[in-house]
Amino acid sequence: MTVVPTMLERRYRRMLVVLPKWYRAEREEEMVAAFLDDAEGNTGNWPGWGEFGSLLALSARTRWPGTTGSPRALVKGQVVRLVALLGLLFVSTVSVMFGLLRLFPELSGHYEPGMAEGTAAWQWYDVAWVGFWSLSLVTFLALLSGARLVARMAAGLSLAAVVSLTVDTVISGEDLSGYTLVFCASSALYTVCVFAGFHSDAPQVRVRWWLVALAGLVVTYIGMTWLPYGLFHAAIAVAAVVYVIGYYLKAWRMSAAWSLASAVIFGLEAAEELAAAPAYIFDRVVPMLGTPLALVEAAALVVLALWLWAQAVKALPARERSPLRMAA
């Protein structure tokens, strides 16, 4: 005789969809039975938000683990955390640079004595942008210090700012709206990776090297203002060529996780450049490097991202059918 599932059981099974397929195949019946036992005799609304939140946390730990999991899943978890850290590193660099140049304008190569600062009143989107840059820096520093609750709170507020800026960009329809929308999407991805990757199973971040990278990038970005336009981008292109040549000469290697995370970051940078290309081509906006060089840079970023992705795929561990059975 076929047993017809109750409405509550169907709700629980739909809720378990957030878990990986391989996990549901092993534990779905057990989990549904446990949920139904806990709900028996309770007159409240079940399933509750607490249960769904715990399932989301379990889904993050199983999809992107930090210390316990299959080799391939561990790489995926490292990729998610690296994408969050690398993205926040870039945004934090710009945030610190803006702050320093605001306090000490003489640091900029474009500074001229007697330059008048704008006196226009701030609009709401100005506040939203400042909030976004500041909250991204707070999120990054909180992750480094191990204050993950603070990091998640700041990331949530940052995501709210990104959503409001996205809505404003769609409504305004400016010449570089495509670029801004891609930038907002990238920033939202970094924030989501904070929630997905930095769970209870995630290892602590090695603080020293990330702080060194932040300081080095801030100095580099400010130093760029003293260089002729295009020289810094040319140096980056030369460095990328040197890296690829050294890779094939086996002078150095990059792990699968770092290659995948770098491919994602370079791919997002390429998407931003390509989103700005129509405004460049139709002369609505003139890029600092000139239109041909800006398009070449975007194409080079695409090629580099695809190359890094291909190298990472070769180094990925084999896929397992059931990590739970392997652990047992």
Q: At 88, is the pLDDT very low, low, confident or very high (cuts 50, 70, 90)?
A: very high
Which pLDDT score is estimated for 235? Answer: 65
Q: 49-63 vs 177-197: helix axis angle to the nearest 10?
A: 90
Q: What is d(CA 66, CA 257) in angstroms, rounded to the nearest whole number?
A: 12
Which residue type, as a one-letter code, is found at position 4? V
pLDDT tens for each residue of 180-210: 999 999 999 999 999 999 998 899 998 889 9
Q: What is d(CA 79, CA 263) in angstroms, rounded to the nearest whole number?
A: 10
pTM, to two decimals = 0.86
Which pLDDT score is estimated for 78? Answer: 95
Pick from 243, 240, 224: which is nearest to 232 by CA? 224
Q: 291-315 vs 256-281: helix axis angle to the nearest 10?
A: 160
Q: At 265, is the pLDDT very low, low, confident or very high (cuts 50, 70, 90)?
A: very high
Q: What is d(CA 254, CA 123) in angstroms, rounded to the nearest whole number?
A: 45
Which pLDDT score is estimated for 1? Answer: 45
The yes-or-no verdict on residue 74 having pLDDT over 50 is yes
CA dihedral sign, ordered 309, 152, 209, 132: positive
Judged on CB neighbours under 10 Å (0-12, 13-18, 19+), 219 is: middle
Q: What is the mean pLDDT of residues 74-86?
A: 95
Which pLDDT score is estimated for 328? Answer: 46
pLDDT tens for each residue of 105-152: 888 876 666 555 555 566 777 788 888 999 999 999 999 999 999 999
Q: What is the mean pLDDT of residues 160-184?
A: 88
Q: At 27, is the pLDDT very low, low, confident or very high (cuts 50, 70, 90)?
A: confident
pLDDT tens for each residue of 200-239: 889 999 888 999 999 999 998 888 778 766 566 666 667 7
Contacts of 277 (CB under 8 A, 6+ apart): 294, 295, 298
DSSP-assigned letters across all residues of 196-234: HHSSTTSPPP-HHHHHHHHHHHHHHHHHHTTSPTTHHHH
Find the DSSP H helices in 67-123.
Answer: 71-103
Q: What is d(CA 185, CA 115) in angstroms, rounded to the nearest whole number?
A: 35
Computed over every residue of the chain, the mean pLDDT equals 83
Of the chain, the percentage scoring pLDDT greater than 90 comes to 33
The yes-or-no verdict on residue 2 having pLDDT over 60 is no
The yes-or-no verdict on residue 322 having pLDDT over 60 is no
Cis peptide before 113 (omega within 30 of 0): no
Which pLDDT score is estimated for 238? Answer: 72
Token pair 């139709």: residue: 282
Which pLDDT score is estimated for 144? Answer: 95
Q: At 289, is the pLDDT very low, low, confident or very high (cuts 50, 70, 90)?
A: low
Which pLDDT score is estimated for 168? Answer: 87
Which pLDDT score is estimated for 326? Answer: 52
Q: What does residue 317 show for φ and ψ, rounded to 5 degrees? A: -65, 160
